[in-house]
Amino acid sequence: MFRPFLERGQLLYFVYHLEAQRVVFVSSAYEGIVGRSPETVNEDLPSLLARLHPDDLEYASTRMKHLLQGKFVEDIELRLRPALDPEEQVQWLCCTAARVEYAPGHTYLSGTLQDNTSTRQYMENADRFNKKKNTTLEILSHDLAGPFTMIQQVAGYVSEKVEGLKDDKLNELLSVMKTTCQDSINLIRDFVDNEFLESVNVDMKTERINLAHELSDLIGQFQKSETNLEKYFAYEGPEQLYYSLDYNKFMQVFNNLLSNSMKFTPDGGRITVTLEQQPNQLLLSVADTGIGIPEVMQPVIFERFTPARRPGLRGEKTTGLGMSIIKTIVELHQGHIWLESKEGEGSTFFISLPLDKLG
C-alpha cells in the first residue's frame, strides 16, 4: 500500500543499520535529492557527511546523540555545501528520524529526508523583504514625522506672533497647517503601529538562525543612516550564535525597541545592542543615552495602552501598544523582558532567553 509513496514521492525514506554501519534501504527520491543512483548511497555517504556546513556540525552532532539515546528527532534542518562549485546555492535538508532496536545487533535508524532548498530560498527572500521593510518603516516614520513636527511647532509660533493682527484668514491657514501636520504624524505612527499589531497576530514559526549576524546586520543598516538620524549605533557581541526563534517576530521586537530609543534619545546620542551567552541564559539588551524613564512609570511600561506612554522628543505620537507587543513576543519565546532606567542618563531594556533553543 505504501510502495507508491516510497517509489514516487519526493520524500526520501531511509533505514540505516547501526552495527553494520550501512544504509540498508533508501527510496528512489535519493536520486532527485542527491543526483545519484540509490545503489550508490553507501559509497556516497562519506562525501555527503563531509559536505555538511561547518556551522551545522555541532548541531548535527548533538541531535545525533539524542537519536542514539532513543529520542525521536524531528525537523532537523542541515545545510550541504556545493559538491564542486562554491558559488552554487547551499542545499537545505530536513531530517526526521527514530532509533529502533529489534534484537541485539539489529539496531536501526529510520526516517525521512526532504529537500527544503526552494522553501528556504523563498523564506529568506521574504525575510530580507520584511527586515528591509521594517527598518525602512522606522527610518521613514522618524524622518517624515520629524519635519511635520517642526512645521507644526513653527505654525504655532507664528500664530502667537500674528495674533494681534486679527487676520482671520491667516489664523485659519495657520490652524489648517497645524492640524494637517498633526494628522500626518498620526497617520505615519498609526501605520507603523498597525504593522506591529498585525505581526503579533500571526502564528509563531520558529527556525534556526544566526542571531548574532542578524542583529549585527540590523545595526549596520541603522549605521548607514547615522547622519540623517543624528544618532550613533553599535552592536556588541559574537559574530556567530545560532538560536531557534520566530525570525520576523523577534526582529520586530528589536525594530520597536530601537525605534523607542531613537524617539527618546537626543541628537548625538548613542544606542547599543548587546548579545551575550551566559551560563544559564542568553542575554540581549538595547541601551540608549536618552532622557530615561521616570521611576513612577517603569512598573506599568509593559501594560497595554500603558499610562506611561508619552510623545517622543520631536513630538512623535505613541499609542502605548509597543511595549505590550514586545513583551508578548518575548514571552512567546519563553523569555523575560525588563528594564533599567534613570532620568537624564538613559534606558536599557534586557531580554533573557532560555538556552535550550541555542545551537
Are 99 and 19 within 8 A, CB to CB? no
353: cell is 532567553
Question: Rounded distance, CA 236 to CA 260, Å?
Answer: 19
Task: Give the pTM.
Answer: 0.56
Q: Give the pLDDT confidence score for residue 133 in this predicted structure.
A: 61
Look up cell 519563553; give the residue. Answer: 334
* Lookup result for grid cell 540581549: 284
Number of residues written out for the chain: 359
CA distance 43 to 54: 22
What is d(CA 245, CA 188) in angstroms, rounded to the nearest whole number? 29
- φ/ψ (deg, to 5) at 89: -70, 135
Nearest to 311 by CA among 155, 110, 174, 152: 152
- Alpha carbon of 241 to those of 271, 292, 303: distances in Å? 21, 30, 31
Is residue 184 a contact partner of residue 141, using CB atoms and an 8 Å limit?
no
Cβ(273)–Cβ(286) below 8 Å: yes
How confident is the model at residue 109, as a pLDDT?
93
In terms of DSSP H, where are the helices of 201-284?
211-223, 226-229, 247-263
Among candidates 355, 210, 351, 347, which has minimal Cα distance to 290?
347
Q: pLDDT of the chain along its 359 residues, tens only?
A: 666 666 666 788 999 999 999 999 998 889 988 889 999 999 999 999 999 999 888 888 888 998 999 888 888 889 998 877 766 788 999 999 999 988 888 999 999 999 988 877 776 666 666 656 655 666 556 566 667 777 777 777 788 888 777 788 888 888 878 777 777 776 776 666 666 555 555 567 888 999 999 999 888 888 877 676 778 999 999 999 999 998 888 888 888 888 888 888 888 899 999 999 999 999 999 999 998 888 888 888 887 655 445 544 454 445 445 788 888 889 889 999 999 999 889 999 999 999 988 87
Chain center to CA of 245:
7
What sign does the dihedral 136-139-144-145 (CA atoms) show?
positive
